[in-house]
Amino acid sequence: MDWIEWIHLFLGFLISNVLGYGGGPASIPLMYQEIVTHYGWLTDPQFSNMLALGNALPGPIATKIAAYVGYEVAGWAGLVIALAATILPSAIALILLLQLLQRFRKSNAVKGITILVQPVIAIMMVTLTWQIASSSISLIGIWQALIIAAVAFWLMQRRKIHPALVILCAFAYGGIAIGVFHL
């Protein structure tokens, strides 16, 4: 029965990474769709926590998500399968298409594709943000969620605190303050 889960892992991450043109920001909503909605490997709060922690760590977000989910679903074999499905499409496409893109990089068609994909990625990110915010609001309440968002915005935009530190502070707050209130 493990091999069926392995196939699902491979297909879930392959689809989200093949269609995720534009890197992590484009892949994350597609991964959310596969991980939470389609296969149910993680819940909304689990995905949010994994995404926050993954953003605090160095390196590409897609590989960190694949490694975490793959390991959670099928152990070390799942980790390798999910990483392969995440890395191989990009590596193969890069190797095969780099010269083709280089040759046509000044083409209006290539420029048009790049420009037209950006609004789609933006809408996907807004949708993901809405889903994660709705989940947070239902767990901790609207006022606490708004206060946390406002403090995070102020720290990053006005005080120029690195987002990783803000995420770590939010983890600490969630573990201490919210954990205490929900005991």
pLDDT at 103: 80
pLDDT at 156: 94
pLDDT at 180: 61
pLDDT at 24: 67
Question: Per the structure block, which two tokens stand in for 83?
Answer: 């990483």
3-state DSSP assignment of residue 59: coil
Q: Are 128 and 61 in contact (CB under 8 A)?
A: no
pLDDT at 181: 60
What is the per-residue DSSP string for 80-108?
Answer: HHHHHHHHHHHHHHHHHHHHHHHHHTT-H
Tell whether pTM > 0.85.
no
pLDDT at 158: 94
Q: Are 171 and 52 in contact (CB under 8 A)?
A: yes
Q: How far is CA 58 from CA 3, 55, 61, 62, 164, in A?
A: 31, 7, 8, 12, 9
* Burial class of 141 by CB neighbour count within 10 A (0 to 12, 13 to 18, 19+): exposed
pLDDT at 22: 64
pLDDT at 21: 65
pLDDT tens string, the chain, 183 residues long: the values are 588 999 999 999 998 888 876 666 778 888 999 999 999 999 988 998 898 888 888 888 889 999 999 999 999 999 999 999 998 887 887 788 777 777 877 888 877 877 888 888 889 889 888 888 888 888 888 998 899 999 999 999 999 999 989 988 988 888 887 766 654
pLDDT at 176: 83
